Amino acid sequence: MAAVDRSLVANLAMFAGLSPAEQDELLREARSVRYPKGTAVFNQGTEAERFFVLLHGHLRVEKTTPQGQQMVVRYVSAGELFGVAQAMNLKSYPATAVAAVDSIALSWPSSSWHRLIVTFPTLAVSALQTVGSRLQDTQARVIEISNEQVEQRVAHALLRLAKQAGRKVDAGVEIDFPISRQDVAEMTGTTLHTVSRILSAWEQQGLVEGGRQRIVLRDPHKLHILAEGNEADQVRGSAP
């Protein structure tokens, strides 16, 4: 566990608006941890002892139902607050957070939460914005799953990922961490086979390319049209 340098966090939303002295004070109780790819930051159902900010990398947040089904709830990117379960009055984490790539996070004891938000109201503001934003995203998922066909949902999911974690490459925009067909399926409420079929078809049409745990969006514009529906049939109509 290393002392945390203020320059690492100065441009994070959570620290915005704090003076250097305030930032140092907030960092005094912070602990920095590395999470190798594939390791869990916390597990669903375990006591919510700490809350976190991701400094580097990407996390996959997944939830397992009592019946054993698994869903990818979201991906967390660098700069984001996460694991604020106790702030939401939960005793335990409602999901598992796994490092999709090697990652680094800062964490604080949840027991400090209430004292910290009194001292730093901007922390509460930041948390509310983060949780609120996640609520809107999740509501949008409900609407997609209720109203859209799988192809549209997959298109939406890929576009979100490209926006959140896209890296420009020659062929287009690559999702900058390993992502399997099963992962996409768990984000969109479908099966890996259906995702595989869709991606295969899109590959033939030049919309995407990739391979094992890799997806490149070659034509984000056409995917966007697909995602919005209506004109989907037109795009399909132009395929052989």
Q: Which residues bind its own copies (CB under 8 A)?
A: 63, 65, 67, 69, 71, 73, 84, 87-90, 94, 114, 117-118, 121, 124-125, 127-129, 131-136, 138-139, 141-143, 145-147, 189, 229-230
Q: Is 205 in the site for DNA (CB under 7 A)?
A: no
Residue 11 interacting entry, from its own copies, DNA, none, C-beta within 5 to 8 Å by type: none
**CB atoms closer than 10 angstroms to residue 129:** 13
Q: Is 149 in the site for DNA (CB under 7 A)?
A: yes
Residue type, 196: S
Q: Select 39 or 149, whichever has its Cβ closest to its own copies.
A: 149
Give the bridge partners for 169, in sequence order: 172
Q: Is 194 in the site for DNA (CB under 7 A)?
A: yes
The tokens for 20 are: 């250097």
State the minimum distance, in angstroms, from the CB of residue 151 to DNA.
Answer: 6
Among 50, 60, 181, 218, binds DNA (CB under 7 A): 181
- Binding segment for DNA (CB under 7 A), chosen from 40-48, 106-114, 134-142, 183-191, is 183-191
Residue 78 interacting entry, from its own copies, DNA, none, C-beta within 5 to 8 Å by type: none
- Give one DSSP letter per residue of the chain, joined into a string: -PPPPGGGTTTSGGGTT--HHHHHHHHHT-EEEEE-TT-EEE-TTSB--EEEEEEESEEEEEEE-TTS-EEEEEEEETT-EE--TGGGT-SB-SSEEEESSSEEEEEEEGGGHHHHHHH-HHHHHHHHHHHHHHHHHHHHHHHHHHHS-HHHHHHHHHHHHHHHHEEEETTEEEESS---HHHHHHHHTS-HHHHHHHHHHHHHTTSEEEETTEEEES-HHHHHHHHH-STHHHHHHT--
Total residues at interface with DNA (CB under 7 A): 20
Q: Is 71 in the site for DNA (CB under 7 A)?
A: no
Q: Is 180 in the site for DNA (CB under 7 A)?
A: yes
Q: Select 136 or 238, whichever has its Cβ closest to its own copies.
A: 136
Q: Is 189 in the site for DNA (CB under 7 A)?
A: yes
- Binding segment for DNA (CB under 7 A), chosen from 28-36, 95-103, 124-132, 181-189, is 181-189
Q: Contact residues for DNA (CB under 7 A)?
A: 149-151, 180-182, 189-194, 196-197, 199-200, 203, 211-213
